[in-house]
Amino acid sequence: MKDKKHWDVIVVGGGIIGLSLAIALRKHELEVLIIERGEPGHEASCAAAGMLADCAGELPLSLLAMANASAKMYPEFVHELQDESGIDVDLREDGSLLLSSDSTKAEIEDDTRTLSSESLKELEPELKSDGCTVCYRKERSVDPRLLAKAALLAAKHRNVDIVSGAAANQLLTINGRTTGVGTNHATYSASTVVNCAGAWAGGFGPYPLRTRPVKGQMLALVGASVRHVVRSPEVYLVPRSDGRLVIGSTLENAGYDKRVDPHTIQRLHELAINLVPALRMVKVHEAWAGLRPGTQDDLPILGETTTKGYFVATGHYRDGILLAPITAKVMAQVIVGEEPDFQIDFLSPLRFAYKELASD
Summarize as ranges the residues that interact with ligand FAD (CB under 6 A).
12-18, 35-38, 42-45, 47-51, 167-168, 196-200, 203-204, 216, 218, 248-249, 290, 292-293, 314, 316-322
Question: Smallest distance, Å, CB 260 to ligand FAD?
Answer: 11
36/90 with CB nearer ligand FAD: 36
95/203 with CB nearer ligand FAD: 203
Question: Smallest distance, Å, CB 131 to ligand FAD?
Answer: 26
- What is the rounded distance in angstroms from the CA atom of residue 110 to the CA atom of residue 357? 39
Asked whether the beta carbons of 176 and 308 are under 8 A apart, the reply is: yes
- What is the rounded distance in angstroms from the CA atom of residue 77 to the CA atom of residue 157? 15
Taking alpha carbons only, the member of 130, 164, 345, 343 closest to residue 233 is 130
Taking alpha carbons only, the member of 288, 291, 335, 290 closest to residue 202 is 291
114/158 with CB nearer ligand FAD: 158
Question: Smallest distance, Å, CB 104 to ligand FAD?
Answer: 26
Question: Smallest distance, Å, CB 195 to ligand FAD?
Answer: 9
Q: Report CA dihedral (184, 185, 186, 191) to the nearest 10 degrees.
A: -20
188/200 with CB nearer ligand FAD: 200
Question: Smallest distance, Å, CB 117 to ligand FAD?
Answer: 27
Question: Smallest distance, Å, CB 52 to ligand FAD?
Answer: 7
Please report the sign of the dihedral spanned by the C-alpha atoms of residue 212, residue 146, residue 73, residue 236: negative
198/239 with CB nearer ligand FAD: 198
87/247 with CB nearer ligand FAD: 247
Q: Residue length, the chain?
A: 360
- What is the rounded distance in angstroms from the CA atom of residue 148 to the CA atom of residue 17? 10
